[in-house]
Structure 1
Amino acid sequence: MIDPLQASARLSAAGLEAQSVRLRIVSENIANAQSTGSTAGAEPYTRKTVTFKGELDRALGAATVKVDRIGKDKAPFRVEYEPGNPAADADGYVKYPNVNMLIEMADMREANRSYEANLQMIKQARSMISMTIDLLRSSS
């Protein structure tokens, strides 16, 4: 059986991994927020989403988090009239990605805070292990 401190560190590590993927996807969405299609009337970048799932870690006997899938947002593309743009269709309209910067920034902030909380849990577990070792040394 795994001791509780090791278990908490492993659960936090799973959270770090999941939030790291989420931050990568949000960064990709932000980087492509103004990307248009490469040819006239082509589809632009489609916003990506991350879905998590709870999973039982039998070794720990606890629920942990995993990335379930990376999907595509079904929201409509933003369309703007720009007849001089190389990506404009026959009517002069350009499709822009369905990326909303306000949503992306909120997702980034939430993922960053979750990442920091999991990192803090690992630091606390390491600190408790270190204190336990110090106590064992001083008692012998």
Structure 2
Amino acid sequence: MEATQISRSALDVEWQRLQVIATNLANMNTTRTGNGGTYAAQRLVSGPVGDFAAEMRVAGDPDAPPERGVMVYQITQTNSGTRQVFNPNHPHANEDGFVSYPNISQSDEMSMMIKTQRAYQANLVALQAAQRMFSSALQVGRQG
């Protein structure tokens, strides 16, 4: 069942990554957050559940429960800064008439969304393939 656990963990991580990207896109024209600052784009940092040394220990001990899959390490703010737009009539304009918006590139976010969707789809296909293999193995076992 390791294959399904790995794919399920990856599906969860990619779903969370899509949520972070959607939040960035939703806030790209936000001038103020709840605490008064400018919104900063976020990135999801993910990686393997276990480290290489732990995997080697598990490989040497068949009774040890393996740590498989991926997980979210953290969601960090980027240092992309702000973009200044001249709009002296805006209520958040500074004394020079400029409004600060988060420096979020819609095209970069959309590209990342497409990559994330493809990773999600690939893991879904892998999960379905593993389930078909387990089902076929059960069918062979019933016939024997």
Is TM (by shorter chain) over 0.5? Answer: yes
Counterpart residue number, 2:17: 22
Change (3 A) 1:61 1:93: closer
Counterpart residue number, 1:36: 31
Deviation beyond 2 Å, 4+ runs, structure 1: 57-62
**3-state SS in 2 of match to 1:28:** helix
Counterpart residue number, 2:84: 79
1:61 and 1:22 map into 2 onto residues whose CA distance is: 21
1:27 and 1:21 map into 2 onto residues whose CA distance is: 10
2:11 and 2:115 map into 1 onto residues whose CA distance is: 13
1:107 and 1:65 map into 2 onto residues whose CA distance is: 19
**3-state SS in 2 of match to 1:89:** coil
Report how many aligned residue pairs link the two structures: 130
1:76 and 1:53 map into 2 onto residues whose CA distance is: 26
> Post-superposition shift, 1:31?
0.8
Question: Does structure 2 conserve the Cα–Cα contact (< 8 Å) formed by 1:43 and 1:95?
Answer: no
Listed one character per residue, the Cα deviations across residues 29-55 of structure 1 (whole Å, up to 9, x for unaligned) are 0111111127xxx53211111111223
Q: TM-score, normalised by structure 2?
A: 0.83
In the alignment, structure 1 residue 60 sits paired with structure 2 residue 66 = yes
Counterpart residue number, 1:3: none
Q: TM-score, normalised by structure 1?
A: 0.85
Change (3 A) 1:93 1:61: closer
Fraction of identical pairs, as percent: 26
Q: Given the alignment, which residue of 1, 8, 17 partners 2:3?
A: 8
Listed one character per residue, the Cα deviations across residues 11-67 of structure 1 (whole Å, up to 9, x for unaligned) are 1111111111100000000111111127xxx532111111112232752365x3211
Give the gaps of 5 or more residues in structure 1: 1-5
Give the gaps of 5 or more residues in structure 2: 59-64
What's the RMSD between the two structures over aligned residues? 1.7
